[in-house]
């Protein structure tokens, strides 16, 4: 089958394989550190509020620096940015290990390390995304986008599982693991041959603020980019709210904490399986049907939680819900990458990172408000109703209905000289 040959070629792409392998390890290290941060703060201060401050510092730093980071990604060599981010994170984590070993770590240092991690992620993610069309042929970009999503889910699952275990061995042990994961990713990146960007050298850099505005205008001025960004933001916002509502509902119904943990794990497993299936679905179903189909399926599935009183059955529902979005995200991400000029891809990633991050941050707050205002099943229905409204908007949107088929060719400028 043609699809199988494409996946095989992607698997044999040495440079993509090096990048993917390094980043799945790096993602596991980051997730391990994110579990360890609040545990360390609680052990040092006993303050839950200060634990939240440290964990929140990562997301806040990533949001605040997201737009400038995207502009810098379009200005600087992207491979050097990625190498620098891995090196800086390894150094920051190593410093924290030494401070914990000597008993000198305080909340201020933990916040500083968290901020460094957030800034590095704000730079690394758009740099990697913008590099993808230059690392793999355009027909393999959908598979690469989907495998990157599977990589992120796998790294988060493994890191979350490891974090508590390593912390039990010692406060500094999770961060030792984090150091080695970033060093591993750094070495893997050294051997990645990333084609040079001739367009970046052809134009002198403008004022950073003007470059940020240029990126915002580009995204807003492209109807298909605008509507697909709306789809992603809406999905992140309402699903993160729905997730919190379901966790609270499960707790109120007396589900054991072990079953709730299984629910969360099955959500991640469903996402991984969905990401693996996404390239196959992307090749056979039009982007319009993929995107609207996901929203229609969520509209049908999300209210079913009202009738489920068993944690394992709820986990199956979570897995089914999480299985669907990666295919739509693959269609959206592929179109956005291949239809954005290379010199603007970093800023595209910065805009998407900030909007997606805001949605992910506001979603739990919205879910918490729903739980307080409409306790129990009504909160589920309100959340499902919001998803239904977005579903109708996407289904009738003329721009989305005219979305190009996955088989339509997209020209991408390719270079041969490595950075």
Q: Provide the mean pLDDT of the chain.
A: 88
Would the pLDDT of 302 be above 80? Answer: yes
Write down the residue that tokens 């629910």 correspond to. Answer: 263
Homologous superfamily assigned to 215-404: MFS general substrate transporter like domains (1.20.1250.20)
- On the question of a common fold for 1-192 and 215-404, the answer reads yes
DSSP secondary structure, 166-198, as one string: HHHH-TTHHHHHHHHHHHHHHHHHHT--PBP-H
Q: Where does the pLDDT of residue 87 fall: very low under 50, low under 70, confident under 90, or very high at 90 and above?
A: very high
Mean pLDDT across 348-353: 94
pLDDT of residue 198: 61
pLDDT of residue 353: 92
CA dist., res. 54 & res. 205, Å (int): 35
Give the pair of three-digit tokens for residue 325. Answer: 């979005």
Would the pLDDT of 412 be above 70? Answer: no
CB neighbourhood size of 417 (10 A): 10
Q: For domain 1-192, which CATH number applies: 3.40.50.1010, 1.10.3720.10, 2.60.40.10, 1.20.1250.20?
A: 1.20.1250.20
Burial class of residue 148 in the structure, from the number of CB atoms within 10 Å of its CB (0-12 exposed, 13-18 middle, 19+ buried)? buried
SS3 376: coil
SS3 311: helix
Mean pLDDT across 260-286: 89
Would the pLDDT of 4 be above 50? Answer: no
For the chain, give every domain's residue range.
Answer: 1-192, 215-404
CB neighbourhood size of 292 (10 A): 22
SS3 286: coil
pLDDT of residue 419: 58
CA dist., res. 329 & res. 253, Å (int): 33
Write down the residue that tokens 């070629």 correspond to. Answer: 9
Count of CA atoms in the C-beta half-sphere (13 A) of 145: 28
SS3 12: coil
Question: Phi/psi at 405 (nearest 5 deg)?
Answer: -70, 155
CA dist., res. 211 & res. 285, Å (int): 36
Computed from CA positions of residues 249, 46, 60, 62, in that sequence, does the dihedral angle turn out positive or negative? negative
Would the pLDDT of 239 be above 70? Answer: yes
Q: Where does the pLDDT of residue 414 fall: very low under 50, low under 70, confident under 90, or very high at 90 and above?
A: very low
pLDDT of residue 10: 80
pLDDT of residue 376: 85
Cβ atoms of 265 and 157 within 8 Å: the answer is yes
CA dist., res. 405 & res. 419, Å (int): 33
pLDDT of residue 403: 80
> What is the tens place of the pLDDT at every residue in 357-411?
898 888 888 888 888 888 889 999 999 999 999 999 999 999 988 887 654 544 4
CA dist., res. 367 & res. 402, Å (int): 33
- The rounded percent of the chain whose pLDDT value lies above 70 is 92
pTM score, two decimals? 0.89
pLDDT of residue 205: 63
Would the pLDDT of 415 be above 50? Answer: no
Question: Which of 276, 405, 270 has the alpha carbon at shortest distance from 11?
Answer: 276
pLDDT of residue 249: 87
Would the pLDDT of 2 be above 50? Answer: no
Burial class of residue 287 in the structure, from the number of CB atoms within 10 Å of its CB (0-12 exposed, 13-18 middle, 19+ buried)? buried
Would the pLDDT of 188 be above 50? Answer: yes
Mean pLDDT across 192-207: 69
pLDDT of residue 199: 54
pLDDT of residue 171: 93
How many residues are present in the chain?
419
> What is the tens place of the pLDDT at every residue in 89-129?
999 999 999 999 999 999 999 999 999 999 999 999 999 99
Q: Cα 396 to the chain's mean position, in Å?
A: 28
Buried b (16+ CB within 10 A) or exposed e, 357-372: bbbbbebbebbeebbe
Q: Which residues share a beta bridge with 195?
A: 418
CA dist., res. 125 & res. 122, Å (int): 6
Would the pLDDT of 47 be above 70? Answer: yes
């Amino acid at each position: 089958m043609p699809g199988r040959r494409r996946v095989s070629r992607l698997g044999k792409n040495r440079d993509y394989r090096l990048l993917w392998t390094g980043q799945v390890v790096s993602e596991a290290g980051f997730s391990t550190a994110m579990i360890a941060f609040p545990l360390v703060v609680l052990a040092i201060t006993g303050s839950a509020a200060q634990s939240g401050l440290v964990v929140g510092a990562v997301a806040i730093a990533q949001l605040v620096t997201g737009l400038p980071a995207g502009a810098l990604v379009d200005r600087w060599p992207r491979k050097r940015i990625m190498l620098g981010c891995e090196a800086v994170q390894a150094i920051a984590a190593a410093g924290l290990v030494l401070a914990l070993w000597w008993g000198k770590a305080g909340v201020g240092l933990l916040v500083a390390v968290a901020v460094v991690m957030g800034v590095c992620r704000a730079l690394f993610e758009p740099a990697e995304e913008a590099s993808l069309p230059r690392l793999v042929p355009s027909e393999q970009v959908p598979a690469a986008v989907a495998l990157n999503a599977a990589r992120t889910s796998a790294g988060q699952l493994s890191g979350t599982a490891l974090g508590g275990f390593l912390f039990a061995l010692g406060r500094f042990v999770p961060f030792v693991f984090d150091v080695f994961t970033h060093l591993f990713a750094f070495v893997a990146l050294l051997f990645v041959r990333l084609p040079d960007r001739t367009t970046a050298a052809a134009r002198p850099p403008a004022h950073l603020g003007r470059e940020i505005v240029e990126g915002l205008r580009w995204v807003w001025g492209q109807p298909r980019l605008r509507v697909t960004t709306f789809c992603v933001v809406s999905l992140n916002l309402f699903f993160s709210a729905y997730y919190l509502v379901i966790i609270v509902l499960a707790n109120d119904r007396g589900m054991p904490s072990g079953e709730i943990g299984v629910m969360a794990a099955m959500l991640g497993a469903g996402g991984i399986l969905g990401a693996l299936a996404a390239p196959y679905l992307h090749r056979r179903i039009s982007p319009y049907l993929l995107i609207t189909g996901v929203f229609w399926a969520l509209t049908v599935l999300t209210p079913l939680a009202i009738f489920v009183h068993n944690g394992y059955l709820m986990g199956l529902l979570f897995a089914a819900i999480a299985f669907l979005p990666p295919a739509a995200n693959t269609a959206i991400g592929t179109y956005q990458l291949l239809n954005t000029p290379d010199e603007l891809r970093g800023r595209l990633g910065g805009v998407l990172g900030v909007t997606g991050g805001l949605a992910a941050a506001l979603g739990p707050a919205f879910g918490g408000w729903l739980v307080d205002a409409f306790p129990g099943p009504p909160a589920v229905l309100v959340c499902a109703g919001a998803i239904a409204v977005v579903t109708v908007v996407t289904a009738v949107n003329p721009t989305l209905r005219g979305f190009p088929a996955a088989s339509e060719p997209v020209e991408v400028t390719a270079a041969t000289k490595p950075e």
